[in-house]
């Protein structure tokens, strides 16, 4: 008997790799995307919301509700990652203005409502800063017991960071929110918190040749041209920035890997650890500190992804794009 599709809400700051993650979720027969909430991060909230609706329309899933959430981090000044994602957040891609309006519900209410419908059945995936989820937890501290799982793209556990030597962008953008979330999942009866951080996402690399190959696979498919135009135009911005900084034209599929691991946990290997988020360090703000040796003597609160089957993930991601092109 086929496994029941995973009920998903994704909290995004769309962003090129968030866009790829949304397309992947829309194309997965093993996922039922019930809604998408948006948060400030890679770009401001209005841009993240607009980008999200435009990407859902590209995937012909404009009926999926988009719930706008928090427009600023809890305590910090707002930042962005437009260096990588471009001024609009979608690189050089130009998608039509979405016809669908954002849903009238705030992300916090929507996340709580979706988790409460059938306690234990919802997988919440966070691919942006954790501001919405922390705010939802402050409103409803029982949220960790209502969810089936929280899978987040964030942190760097045995690796260095990407936005500072110590911190990964999603955690660094709102470390106070991240601390609230990580601590809440230490409670008795809390659902698993799975952290898909740079340790594994750095291995999920897309190259221009992968897209060229995908384009050949999709030639003649009805939705191929629009989809491939978007994939090429958005990722070219990321390739350009990476080339400037590292010399290599690669696009790290951080957020798609988190969604993939939420749908198919067998893609990653996890290790349980007690994790705290640094909020006061002058050099280390936003660092995810994992107590691998148990020196704090506190029970673990996070399943940290430490290994990934990157080739299987990439093949699955490209297959999903071909399915979308087919329609």
Q: Does 89 bind Ca ion (CB under 5 A)?
A: no
Q: Does 132 bind ligand BDR (CB under 6 A)?
A: no
Binding test (CB under 6 A) with ligand BDR, winner from 28, 49, 131, 170? 170
Whether the CB-CB separation of 38 and 45 falls below 8 Å is answered with yes
For 148-183, give one letter per residue: b (16+ CB within 10 A) or e. bbbbbbbbbbeeebbbbebbbbbbbbbbbbbbbbbe
Of Ca ion, ligand BDR, none, which one does residue 53 interact with (CB within 5 to 8 Å by kind)?
Answer: none
Of Ca ion, ligand BDR, none, which one does residue 21 interact with (CB within 5 to 8 Å by kind)?
Answer: none
Q: Does 254 bind ligand BDR (CB under 6 A)?
A: yes
Taking CB under 6 A as the criterion, which residues in 210-239 touch ligand BDR?
none
Q: Could you give the string, one character per residue 1-20, with x where binding to Ca ion holds by CB under 5 A and - elsewhere?
A: ------------x-x--x--
- Estimate the share of the chain in helix, then strand, then coil, as percent rounded to the nearest 5: 40, 15, 40
CA dist 185 and 70 (Å) reads: 21
CA-based end-to-end distance of the chain: 25
CA dist 149 and 132 (Å) reads: 16
DSSP-based three-state secondary structure for 152: strand
Binding test (CB under 6 A) with ligand BDR, winner from 168, 174, 278, 303? 168
CA dist 161 and 73 (Å) reads: 19
Distances (CA, A) of 110 to 39, 65, 124, 140: 13, 10, 12, 12
Q: Does 152 bind ligand BDR (CB under 6 A)?
A: no
CA dist 186 and 301 (Å) reads: 5
Binding test (CB under 6 A) with ligand BDR, winner from 6, 28, 37, 42? 42
DSSP-based three-state secondary structure for 73: coil
Q: Does 153 bind ligand BDR (CB under 6 A)?
A: yes
Window contacting ligand BDR (CB under 6 A); options: 100-108, 138-146, 167-175, 220-228: 167-175
254 is catalytic: yes
- Give min distance, CB of 257 to ligand BDR, in A: 10
- Give min distance, CB of 98 to ligand BDR, in A: 20
Interface residues with ligand BDR (CB under 6 A) are 15, 17-18, 42, 81, 84, 127, 153, 162, 168-170, 254-255
Interface residues with Ca ion (CB under 5 A) are 13, 15, 18, 127-128, 255
Q: Hey, which residues are catalytic here?
A: 254
């Amino acid at each position: 008997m086929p496994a029941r599709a995973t009920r998903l809400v994704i909290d995004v700051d769309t962003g090129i790799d968030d866009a790829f993650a949304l397309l992947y979720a829309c194309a997965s027969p093993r996922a039922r995307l019930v809604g998408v909430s948006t948060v400030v991060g890679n770009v401001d909230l209005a841009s993240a919301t607009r980008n999200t609706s435009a990407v859902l329309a590209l995937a012909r899933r404009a009926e999926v509700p988009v719930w706008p959430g928090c427009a600023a981090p809890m305590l910090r000044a707002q930042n962005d990652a437009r260096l990588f994602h471009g001024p609009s957040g979608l690189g050089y891609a130009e998608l039509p203005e979405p016809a669908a309006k954002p849903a009238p519900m705030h992300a916090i209410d929507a996340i709580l409502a979706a988790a409460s419908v059938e306690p234990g059945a919802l997988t919440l995936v966070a691919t942006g800063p954790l501001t919405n989820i922390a705010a939802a937890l402050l409103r409803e501290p029982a949220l960790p017991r209502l969810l089936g799982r929280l899978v987040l793209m964030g942190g760097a556990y045995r690796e260095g960071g990407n936005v500072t030597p110590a911190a990964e962008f999603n955690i660094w953008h709102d470390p106070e929110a991240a601390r609230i979330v990580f601590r809440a999942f230490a409670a008795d009866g809390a659902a698993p918190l799975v952290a898909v951080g740079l340790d594994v996402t750095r291995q999920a690399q897309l190259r221009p040749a992968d897209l060229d190959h995908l384009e050949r696979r999709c030639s003649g498919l009805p939705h191929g041209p629009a989809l491939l135009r978007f994939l090429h135009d958005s990722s070219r911005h990321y390739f350009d920035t990476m080339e400037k900084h590292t010399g290599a034209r690669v696009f790290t599929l951080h957020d798609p890997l988190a969604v993939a691991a939420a749908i198919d946990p067998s893609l990653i290997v996890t290790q349980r650890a007690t994790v705290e988020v640094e909020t006061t360090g002058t050099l280390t703000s936003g660092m995810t500190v994992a107590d691998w040796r148990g020196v704090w003597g506190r029970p673990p609160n996070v399943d940290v992804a430490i290994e990934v089957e990157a080739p299987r993930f990439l093949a699955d991601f490209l297959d999903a794009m071909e399915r979308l092109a087919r329609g």
